[in-house]
Amino acid sequence: MIALKIQDLSKNFGSTEVLKKINLKIDEGNFLVLLGPSGCGKSTLLNIIAGLETIDEGTVFIDDYDVSKVEPKDRNIAMVFQSYALYPSMSVKENMVFGLKQAKASKEKIEEQLKKFSNFLHVDELLNRKPSQLSGGQRQRVAIGRALVREPRIFLFDEPLSNLDAKLRVEMRREIKKLHQKLKTTVVYVTHDQTEAMSLGTNIAIMNHGIIQQYDTPENIYNKPNNTFVADFIGSPPMNLISGQLVKEANKTLFIPEGSGQSNNITIKNYNFVKTQDENSKDVYFGIRPEHIHYKKTNDNDIEFNLKTDLNEYIGHEQITTFNYFNQEVLGKFPSTIKIETNKEMKLFFDLSQISIFDKKTNNRI
Ligand code: ADP
Ligand code: MG
C-alpha cells in the first residue's frame, strides 16, 4: 500500500523556484531519504508533507487521501527537527506526552505509551529532568520519543543528527535504524549526509536545485547513477569521471581517453547501455569508482594499466592514491597493507564490469 504520494509538486518563494515538478511514492513501512546539498529544497519538501508550508502546484496524498489542504495536526504525522524543539520549561515526561495530551488521549493511554517508549529509547531514568539537563544525544532521544508516543502514520525527520558530534551521530544512526526495523513505520528522512542516507534508506531521492535527480534503492544509486551529479555526490572519494570519446569501430565500442592519442583505448564489453547508441562517436565521461581500480587482477573484466602515482593519502583502514591517466587525475582506493610509492609506475586493473558511461552533453547515463 502506498503511504505517501507526491504528484507534480512545485513551490516558489517569490521568484525562486524551490521545487520543480516533484513526483514521489513511498510504500507503507519504507524508509525514504531525501538527500541533497544544502539549499536544494529538502526541508521545504518535508514541510509541505507536514502541512507547515503551502503548495503552489501539485498534490500530496497520504493513504490515497488528498491532504494538500488538511491542517498539520490532522495529517497523522509526527516530525523530528534538527534543533530538537523541546519545550525548555517542561520536564522530559511532559515533553514526551505533550502531543498525546493535546490529542486528548486518556490518562491510561498516556502512561502506557510513555512507559513503552521511554523504555525503548533509554530515557526512563531521565523523565523528571529538564531539557537543559540533558546531553545532545539524550535531547534527540526525547524529541524522537515525543514523536513516537503518538504512533503516527508517517514520521518526518529533518536532519535529526546534524547537531551531534561524529561518534554520537553514528550511534544514533544505528538506533534509528533499529527503531525502524522494529516498528516498521513509514519514514521520510532529510539529510545532506550520504552515509546516513545509504545506511538508513530503503529508498533514496537525490535532489539538486529542486529537482529529483534519481529515486532508487541505495544499491542502484551507488552502482548505476542516472547522471554525473549522482555519480559525483555519492561515494568518498566520488566516482572518477574520465573525459574522452566513445567510438564505434567495426563491431566494437571503444573508449578513447582525452589526451591519449588514438592508440590507447579501452574496449567496452558487457556494458548495459540504457539504449542503443546510434552515433559513431560521442563525447563522454567514463565513470569508475576508486574501489573498482584494483592492484591485482580479481576477475575476467579487469583490464591492465601502468599508471604513475602522483599522491598517496594514508587514512588508516585504507589509502587513496592519485594517478596520472593521460593528464587526468584518477583516484584509486586500496587496503592500507600494500606498499605504494609516489612517483612510481604501478600496475593497476580497471574492473570493466563496474563502470558507468555518461553523455558529456546531457550528463546523463547512456
Ligand atoms: P535544504 O533543506 O535542502 O537545505 P530548503 O528547503 O531549506 O533547503 O531551502 C531551499 C531554498 O529555498 C533555499 O534557497 C532557501 O534559501 C529557500 N527558502 C527556504 N525557505 C524560504 C522562505 N521561507 N522564504 C524564502 N526562501 C526560502
Ligand atoms: Mg534543510
CA of 16 to the centre of ligand 1 (A): 9
- Is residue 263 one of the residues assigned to a domain? yes
Residue written as cell 529529483?
A: 212
Same domain, 211 and 285: no
Q: What does the alpha-carbon distance between residue 19 and residue 212 come to, in Å, rounded to a whole number?
A: 9
Helix (H) or strand (E) holding 47: helix 42-50
**177 and 283 belong to one structural domain:** no
Determine the Cα–Cα distance for residues 190 and 161; give it in Å rounded to an integer: 10
364 within domain boundaries: no
Nearest atom in ligand 1 to the alpha carbon of residue 159 is 2
Do residues 215 and 354 both lie within one domain? no
Indicate if 190 and 245 belong to the same structural domain: no
- The answer as to whether 46 is a domain residue is yes
Q: Which atom of ligand 1 is nearest to the CA of 47?
A: 6
Strand order across the beta sheet in which 77-80 lies: 77-80, 154-158, 186-191, 31-35, 203-208, 211-216
Does residue 95 lie in a domain region?
yes
The answer on 244 and 212 residing in a single domain is no
User: What cell does 280 get?
Assistant: 559513431
Where a domain ends, among 204, 233, 262?
233
Is the same domain home to 212 and 273?
Answer: no
* Residues 6 or more apart in contact with residue 103 via CB below 8 angstroms: 150
CATH of the domain at 276: 2.40.50.140
Q: How far is the CA of 158 from the centre of ligand 2 (A)?
A: 7
Distances (CA, A) of 320 to 271, 302, 330: 26, 19, 10
Q: Do both 213 and 255 map to the same domain? A: no
Note whether residue 365 is domain-resident: no
Q: How much distance in Å is there from the Cα of 152 to the middle of ligand 2?
A: 22
Angle between helices 92-102 and 136-148 (to 10 degrees): 20
Which of 268, 245, 249 has its CA nearest to residue 257? Answer: 245
Residue 283: give the domain boundaries: 240-359
Query: What is the domain-level CATH number for residue 169?
Result: 3.40.50.300
Q: Which atom of ligand 1 is nearest to the CA of 37?
A: 3
The CA-based dihedral angle spanning residues 44, 45, 47, 50, taken in that order and rounded to the nearest 10 degrees: 170
Q: Is ligand 1 within 6 A of the CB of residue 11?
A: no
In Å, what is the CA distance from 107 to each residue of 94, 103, 116, 225?
A: 13, 12, 14, 51
Nearest alpha carbon, ligand 1 atom 24? 13
Which among 195, 237, 230, 200 has a CA at the least distance from the CA of 212? 230
Question: Best mutation site among 11, 12, 18, 189 for ligand 1, i.e. most ligand atoms within 8 A of its Cβ?
Answer: 18
Give the span between the Cα atoms of 259 and 237, in whole angstroms: 24
Q: Identify which ligand lies nearest to the alpha carbon of 13.
A: 1
* Phi–psi pair at 116, nearest 5 degrees: -55, -50
Based on the domain organization, do 180 and 282 belong to the same domain?
no
* Amino acid 151: pLDDT: 86
C-alpha cell belonging to residue 6? 507526491
pLDDT of residue 327: 94
Nearest C-alpha to atom 2 of ligand 1 is from which residue? 43
**150 CB within 6 A, ligand 1:** no
pLDDT score recorded for residue 186 = 97
- Single-letter residue type at 161: L
Assigned C-alpha cell, 202: 530503503
Q: How many domains does the chain have?
A: 2
Which of 167, 146, 168 has its CA nearest to residue 155? 146
**Residues 309, 219 share a domain:** no
Q: For residue 361, what pLDDT is reported?
A: 97
Same domain, 215 and 254: no
| Contact 42 CB / ligand 1 (< 6 Å) | yes
* Domain end marker among 233, 259, 287: 233
Does some domain include residue 137? yes
* Residues, beta carbon < 5 Å, ion ligand 2: 43
Ligand 1 in reach of 3 Cβ (< 6 A): no
197 alpha carbon to ligand 1 midpoint, in Å?
20
Among candidate residues 37, 32, 60, 38, the one with its CA nearest the CA of residue 47: 60
Question: Within this chain, do residues 214 and 289 fall inside the same structural domain, yes or no?
Answer: no
Predicted local distance difference test score (pLDDT) of residue 120? 84
Out of 201, 233, 265, pick the residue that ends a domain: 233
Task: Please indicate, yes or no, if residue 366 is contained in any of the structural domains.
Answer: no
- Angle separating helix axes 166-183 and 136-148, nearest 10 degrees: 20
Asked if the structure places residue 217 within a domain, the reply is yes
Ligand 1 contacts CB of residue 47 (under 6 A): no
Judge if 148 and 103 occupy the same domain: yes
How many Å apart are CA 349 and CA 297, to the nearest integer? Answer: 6
| Each residue's pLDDT expressed in tens, for the chain with a length of 366 residues | 999 999 999 999 999 999 999 999 999 999 999 999 999 999 999 999 999 999 999 999 999 999 999 999 899 999 988 887 899 999 999 999 998 898 888 999 999 999 988 988 889 899 999 999 998 889 988 999 998 898 899 999 999 998 888 888 998 899 899 999 999 999 999 999 999 999 999 999 999 999 999 999 999 999 999 999 999 999 999 999 999 999 998 889 999 999 887 778 999 988 999 988 888 899 999 999 999 999 999 999 999 999 999 999 999 999 999 999 999 999 999 999 999 999 999 999 999 999 999 999 999 999
Q: Give the separation between CA 331 and CA 293, rounded to whole angstroms.
A: 8
Q: How much is the pTM?
A: 0.93
C-beta 13 within 6 A of ligand 1: yes
